[in-house]
Amino acid sequence: MPTAPTATVVSTTNHPWHITPAELNQRISHCENDNRKLLEWAYRISHERDLSLSEFADAAGISSSTLAKIIAGTYVNPRNTSERYDLPTNISSGLRNYQTGIISRLPTNVTFVSTETSRKVNFNCDLARESRTPVFMQGASHIGKTTALEKYADANPTNTFLITVTAGMGAKGLAMAIAEAMGLATAGSVDALTRRIRKELTRDQLLIMDDFHVLTLSATPRGFLKCMELLRALYDADKCGMLFSTTDLDFGRITKEYKTALHQLLRRGIHRPHLGLAPLKQDVKAILAAHGLPWPTKSLQCEAYGMTYKPATIMQDLAKQSGLKSITERLRYALKLSARNTESITWHHVCQAQALVASNDSIPDDDWND
């Protein structure tokens, strides 16, 4: 399995310091290892941010004349020019402090980004509330449904109640979950809980059932019917908005297998929005851009651990085969790798993350015949 990468000097001659990587390596080879790494980092970050040597020195708060001599290989003992000096303590301290400051500002985690899909989720939550009808929302697994619903509920805490359905919940468990989400007592029978919920539920409120299809995992079909009758009773009494979120495959399955049990709610639910069969390309582009990655061209290639990758192909394959989580996990790993090297994230880091994930998933070689 490959190990996490270490930083290397930028392999380019088009550098604002007007020095090649080979020249830099030769001129700092006498420095202590830690100081050499600091200078290599300074060289990389200056290329990345297009900073001249004096601009970098000003940003780091160090002497530009001393740094220039070090980079030029002329920071030497005046009595013995063959004796080259290492970094002065104040220069190495300044570089280290500047590096630490940059590290602290680099993102290391994937954060929520508003996307076309999340906005469609918000629209349908508003639609369910305003129309006071059941909305059946479906879409492929791992396209951002649950995260968007959680963000919507967080933004509307007083009139939105998000219930994540769990296996074997049954009518009693469902009633308890709704009561708990509304801040009500959860003791009592299903009938007592229903009365308690109906007393507090108002028309401007919204009940969201995430992973709605899991209710079919009740002990018997009759148990699922009881859940549907509970929800129908709450809706008919209060005419509040309801949104049922499920995967496209499960929605197709349960509307066929449980057609009778769902009949009443489906008749009341006019709106059945579809979020797509895979993460939208524009969603992925928005998430990547928010974390500092422009969309790659189709011809872009990156080397990682002796393999050549095409980032555009990686993104398309992951989106269509595995979903959004597989992409955000590579992004999280890439952010970690870039922060470790005190660099802004690039597609090279994403390809390194892809290689590490693939290596971790592979079966180890049989070494018994070695």
Structural domains present in the chain? 21-105 (no CATH), 116-268 (3.40.50.300), 281-361 (no CATH)
* Cα atoms found within 13 Å of the Cα of residue 192, Cβ hemisphere only: 7
At which residue do the structure tokens 């390809």 appear?
Answer: 351
pLDDT (0 to 100) of residue 10: 44
Distance CA 210, CA 250 (A): 12
Distance CA 345, CA 282 (A): 20
**Model-level pTM greater than 0.95?**
no
Name the token pair of 50.
């297009």
What phi, psi does 253 have (nearest 5°)?
-70, -50
pLDDT (0 to 100) of residue 259: 84
Identify which of 296, 244, 281 has the alpha carbon closest to the alpha carbon of residue 116.
281
What is the CA angle 150-151-157, rounded to 5? 85
Distance CA 335, CA 293 (A): 10
- 86 neighbors 41 (Cβ within 8 angstroms): no
pLDDT (0 to 100) of residue 186: 95
Distance CA 55, CA 52 (A): 5
Identify which of 317, 308, 299, 291 has the alpha carbon closest to the alpha carbon of residue 351.
308
Name the token pair of 45.
């970050």
Element at 208 (helix H, strand E): strand 206-210
The DSSP 8-state label assigned to residue 138 in this structure reads: E
- 146 neighbors 140 (Cβ within 8 angstroms): no
Q: Is 188 left (phi over 0), alpha (psi -120 to 50) or beta?
A: left
pLDDT (0 to 100) of residue 169: 85
- What is the residue-level pLDDT of the chain in tens, covering all 370 positions? 455 444 444 444 578 999 999 999 999 999 999 999 999 999 988 987 889 999 999 999 999 999 999 999 999 999 998 999 999 999 999 999 998 888 777 777 899 999 999 999 999 999 999 999 999 999 999 999 999 999 999 999 999 999 999 888 889 999 999 999 999 999 999 999 999 999 999 999 999 999 999 888 865 788 888 998 999 999 888 889 999 999 998 988 888 888 888 888 888 888 999 999 999 999 999 999 999 899 999 999 999 998 999 999 999 999 999 999 999 999 999 999 988 877 888 999 999 999 999 999 888 888 898 7
Identify which of 298, 307, 317 has the alpha carbon closest to the alpha carbon of residue 352.
307
Angstrom CA distances, 74 to 17, 31, 86, 253, stand at 15, 13, 11, 75
- 181 neighbors 171 (Cβ within 8 angstroms): no
The DSSP 8-state label assigned to residue 13 in this structure reads: S
